[in-house]
Amino acid sequence: MRVFSGSTRIEAVAPDDRGLAYGDGLFETMRAARGEVPWWDAHCERLQAGVRRLGMVLPDIGLLRAEAAALLAGDDAVLKLIVTRGSDGRGYAPELTATPTSVLSRHPLPPTPPAAGIALRWCATRLALQPALAGIKHCNRLEQVLARAEWNDPAAADRDAFDGLMCSTEGDVVCATAANLFVLKNGRWSTPTVDRCGVAGVCRAWAKAALDAEETRLDVTDVETADAVFLCNAVRGILPVARLGARQWLPHPQVAALRAQLASNHPAFIA
């Protein structure tokens, strides 16, 4: 196993690495507090599930954790881990026993989102249905790249949006470009199923259990008529939504309570 680490990476990944050539790999983006990753085990469980799904060799998790601790050096930071199948010859047929390439990198914490809640927009780019890849965090994120580019244009509507919501090609709402979605309606929390596309987020799993939320198919109307909406991911935690297009929401006590509960569970999200 090869392990590269550094906040400024100067090591070279082999030109025939399948992660570079085909996106044949997985990644995890983690929030660290004082050099520790509180959800390390949850991230590793998802990584292991992805490795099994893709038929890859699992890297040495113990070595990766030691490298991560050295890289973080006791600081608050964002830690990214990329695991690819490794180097192989040209062609799609994978070498099932190839030595994986693991890349660890450290990044600054993201800016603090607006205290009053974030603004969202709808994305025109749709997510293709592919159950074989649904749920895992694989390295092909071109749909999200295209979606996020939609409001880079200075003339774009909702250019101030924090994130955008994405639907599948069949029209059901799946997620934001970089977060999972939860909505409150008729006293019940729900989150989109990710059995055909989308990522089963680590923070999503925590919030789903904390809220006893159901997984279901949601359409655009379900979101726009919800009583409360929030996004979540493992780096930013719980993000209350204040606006989606013309629809606006006031701060909701259940979302505030969930953020407080998360702060007691994960020291990086203490307000």
Torsion angle defined by CA atoms of residues 234, 236, 242 and 243, in that order, rounded to the nearest 10 degrees: -80
The beta strands (E) that lie in the chain are given as 2-5, 25-32, 77-84, 101-107, 118-122, 163-167, 173-176, 180-185, 188-192, 214-216, 228-233, 237-244, 247-248
Query: Domain of 75: which CATH number?
Result: 3.30.470.10
Q: How many CA atoms lie within 13 A of 79 on its CB side?
A: 31
Q: Name the domain boundary from 72, 107, 142.
A: 107
3-state secondary structure of 76: coil
Q: What is the pLDDT of residue 156?
A: 66
Could you give the C-alpha distances from 229 to 119, 151, 171, 181, 208, in angstroms and in order?
Answer: 11, 21, 19, 7, 14
Query: Domain of 201: which CATH number?
Result: 3.20.10.10
The full DSSP string for 219-233 is: -HHHHHT-SEEEEEE
**Is 156 a member of any domain?**
yes
Q: Mark whether 91 and 129 lie in a shared domain.
A: no
Q: What is the pLDDT of residue 154?
A: 73
d(CA 205, CA 38): 14
Q: Mark whether 157 and 53 lie in a shared domain.
A: no
Q: Mark whether 142 and 167 lie in a shared domain.
A: yes
Q: Mark whether 101 and 142 lie in a shared domain.
A: no
Domain total of the chain: 2
Check: CB of residue 117 under 8 Å from CB of residue 240: yes
Q: What is the pLDDT of residue 10?
A: 40
Task: State pTM to two decimals.
Answer: 0.93
Q: What is the pLDDT of residue 229?
A: 98
In tens digits, the chain (271 residues) has pLDDT values of: 445 444 444 456 788 899 999 999 999 999 999 999 999 999 999 999 999 999 999 999 999 999 999 999 999 999 999 999 998 878 899 888 888 999 999 999 999 888 889 999 999 999 999 999 999 999 999 999 999 999 987 776 677 899 999 999 999 999 999 999 999 999 999 999 999 999 999 999 999 999 999 999 999 999 999 999 999 999 999 999 999 999 999 999 999 999 999 999 999 998 6
Angle at the Cα of 71 from the Cα atoms of 66 and 75, rounded to 5 degrees: 110
Q: Name the domain boundary from 107, 135, 151.
A: 107
Could you give the C-alpha distances from 10 to 4, 13, 44, 86, in angstroms and in order?
Answer: 9, 10, 26, 18
Q: Which domain holds residue 43?
A: 2-107
**Is 214 a member of any domain?**
yes
d(CA 142, CA 246): 28
Q: What is the pLDDT of residue 8?
A: 41
